[in-house]
């Protein structure tokens, strides 16, 4: 599967080879290669060029405390951890621990383990627990959402409470391999349900007065939402 929205594969390979691969951190590269070797769903990993963009964004924002929903083997989490100051923190939520265990040796080798708090469980439950604890409200600089697409719209309501005013919530795969305008490209029900949910989400975010938003055509579509109040 072409995990980039650019339809010219040659142009995308040019971006990767000329600009992105030379700047990919060694431990990210090794984690990516180990994931590609072990899992046939390794296309789920964050594209390298998108990772570099997020890294720069986190540094421009001076982000210190972030949350990620959907960890897989930890590529985006390690990318985030590498972009935070030494006392920075990432809360990383995934219901599959085995995936994350594959990434741990690379995270340790990069010296980033102390910044990551992995929560094993269902994301909605974990987010509700953070709300219930009271101390986390409005405390996150940045949230990256890359798990079950059908729940993005539900995560949005909770993340608007957890992310501080001026903070960013980033939703990944919002163009869903181009299927938002071409529903016929998917026959499997999971992909079709995800598409329906993302089409609804994209329209919703475009008029949500609590945020300003920007849908970037990087990777498979990345929508940045900045909390306004």
Query: Binding residues for ligand SAM, per CB under 6 A?
Result: 44-46, 70-73, 75-76, 93-96, 99, 122-123, 146-148
Question: Is 146 among the residues that bind Ca ion (CB under 5 A)?
Answer: yes
> In which element (H, E) is residue 104 found?
helix 97-109
Report the residue number, 120 or 210, with the smaller CB distance to ligand SAM. 120
Chain CA centroid to CA 226, Å: 15
Question: Is 173 among the residues that bind Ca ion (CB under 5 A)?
Answer: yes
**Cβ-contact 99, 44 below 8 angstroms:** no
Helix then strand then coil, in percent of the chain rounded to 5, is 50, 20, 30
Q: Is residue 50 helix, strand or coil?
A: helix
Question: Is 174 among the residues that bind Ca ion (CB under 5 A)?
Answer: no
Phi, psi of 147 (to 5 degrees): -115, -135
> Least CB distance from residue 165 to ligand SAM, whole Å?
25
> Least CB distance from residue 78 to ligand SAM, whole Å?
9
Q: Rounded distance, CA 142 to CA 93, Å?
A: 14
Q: How many residues bind Ca ion (CB under 5 A)?
A: 3
Question: Is 172 among the residues that bind Ca ion (CB under 5 A)?
Answer: yes
Helices (H), the chain: 9-14, 26-38, 48-61, 75-83, 97-109, 123-132, 152-162, 189-207
Q: Which span sits near Ca ion by CB under 5 A: 16-24, 84-92, 169-177, 184-192? A: 169-177
**Cβ-contact 66, 90 below 8 angstroms:** yes
> Least CB distance from residue 99 to ligand SAM, whole Å?
5
Q: Which span sits near Ca ion by CB under 5 A: 35-43, 125-133, 167-175, 207-215? A: 167-175
> Least CB distance from residue 172 to ligand SAM, whole Å?
7
Which residues would be at the binding site for Ca ion (CB under 5 A)?
A: 146, 172-173
């Amino acid at each position: 599967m072409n995990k980039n929205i650019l339809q010219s594969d040659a142009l995308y390979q040019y971006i990767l080879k000329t600009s992105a691969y030379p700047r990919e951190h060694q431990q990210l590269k090794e984690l990516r290669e180990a994931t590609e070797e072990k899992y046939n769903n390794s296309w789920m990993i964050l594209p390298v060029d998108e990772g570099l963009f997020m890294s720069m964004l986190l540094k421009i924002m001076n982000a210190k405390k972030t949350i990620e929903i959907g960890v897989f083997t930890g590529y985006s989490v390690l990318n985030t951890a590498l972009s935070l100051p030494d006392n920075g923190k990432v809360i990383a939520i995934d219901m599959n621990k085995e995936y994350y265990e594959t990434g741990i040796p690379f995270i340790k080798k990069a010296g980033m383990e102390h910044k990551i708090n992995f929560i094993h469980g269902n994301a909605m439950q974990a987010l509700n627990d953070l709300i219930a604890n009271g101390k986390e409200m409005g405390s996150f600089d940045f949230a990256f959402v890359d798990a079950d697409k059908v729940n993005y719209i539900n995560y949005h309501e909770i993340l608007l409470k957890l992310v501080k005013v001026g903070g960013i919530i980033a939703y990944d795969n919002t163009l869903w391999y181009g299927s938002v305008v071409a529903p016929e490209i998917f026959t499997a029900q999971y992909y079709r349900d995800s598409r329906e949910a993302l089409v609804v989400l994209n329209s919703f975010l475009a008029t949500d007065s609590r945020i300003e938003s920007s849908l970037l055509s990087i990777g498979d579509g990345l929508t940045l939402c900045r909390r306004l109040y």
